[in-house]
Amino acid sequence: MKIICIGRNYADHAKEMNSSLPSVPMFFMKADTSLLRPGTPFFYPSFSSNIHYECELVVKINRVGKHISERFAHKYYSEIGLGIDLTARDLQEKCKEKGHPWEIAKSFEGSAPISKTFIDKSELQLENIQFRLEQNGTEVQKGTSADMIFTIDVLIAYISQFMTLKKGDLIFTGTPSGVGPIAINDVLIGYIGNRKMFEVKVK
Ligand code: ZN
């Protein structure tokens, strides 16, 4: 399986990063080894001193498809989960400066905690899925799919022009504003609506 992450899909986050708004989706990838198994702690790596959380809705692809048109994209996913696109911001800044690929900042071990359960999309109002992240009991991020620049269907159509999507692939759909650093001993809890989706301890 592969993990595809969308950059700058919320205007307020692009603004806080001093980034321009994209006219087409921008995506990058994480290795399957970046998945953090639900219930296991995230170990803060020694190569970074500025790891940020980015809480994101995660779409699970349910069948093989390529060149999927936007109007049929809804057939390619049935469940939505929640995850964190952990980002070594210090390494990412250096990569950006040099124009280098940024896998070392995005695709490291454990950099993709995801929820154990995914919610059937029939239980959600897809155009307004509300989600939030708490860090040590304080709400630090709050978002809704209503604020996505590119909808899930647009993302699937776009990505599938370039690569075949397969059953089990995950799409991290971008983060709203409020990203910030994590620290050892933090507890990060994510919710979709009032449903607790994950709890990640940082060690
Ligand atoms: Zn992200």
Range of the structural domain that residue 155 is part of:
3-201
How far does residue 123's CA lie from ligand 1's centre (Å)? 25
What distance in Å separates the CA atoms of residue 24 and residue 3, rounded to the nearest whole number? 19
How far does residue 36's CA lie from ligand 1's centre (Å)? 15
Give bridge partners of residue 132 from the DSSP assignment: 142, 191
- Could you give the angle at the alpha carbon of 138 between the alpha carbons of 133 and 140, nearest 5°? 45
How far does residue 99's CA lie from ligand 1's centre (Å)? 18
How far does residue 28's CA lie from ligand 1's centre (Å)? 9
pLDDT in tens, 152-193: 999 999 999 999 999 999 999 999 999 999 999 999 999 999
Strand pairing category for 112-113 and 195-201: unpaired
How far does residue 166's CA lie from ligand 1's centre (Å)? 21
Number of domains in the chain: 1
How far does residue 71's CA lie from ligand 1's centre (Å)? 25
How far does residue 152's CA lie from ligand 1's centre (Å)? 15
pTM of whole model > 0.95? yes
How far does residue 175's CA lie from ligand 1's centre (Å)? 5
What distance in Å separates the CA atoms of residue 34 and residue 20, rounded to the nearest whole number? 28
Cβ–Cβ < 8 Å for 149, 22:
yes
Cβ–Cβ < 8 Å for 55, 141:
yes
Nearest partner of 164 among 67, 38, 66, judged by Cα:
66
Q: Report how far apart, in Å, the C-alpha atoms of 90 and of each of 51, 74, 95, 139 are.
A: 8, 37, 9, 24
DSSP character string of 46-86: TT-S-EEE-EEEEEEE-S-BSS--GGGGGGGEEEEEEEE--
* Average pLDDT over the chain, rounded to an integer: 97
How far does residue 187's CA lie from ligand 1's centre (Å)? 19
> Which domain CATH number covers 189?
3.90.850.10
Cβ–Cβ < 8 Å for 8, 23:
no
Cβ–Cβ < 8 Å for 99, 75:
no
How far does residue 9's CA lie from ligand 1's centre (Å)? 9
C-alpha 51, offset from chain centre: 15
How confident is the model at residue 65, as a pLDDT? 98
pLDDT in tens, 97-142: 999 999 999 999 999 999 999 999 999 999 999 999 999 999 999 9
User: 156 by DSSP, 3-state: which?
Assistant: helix
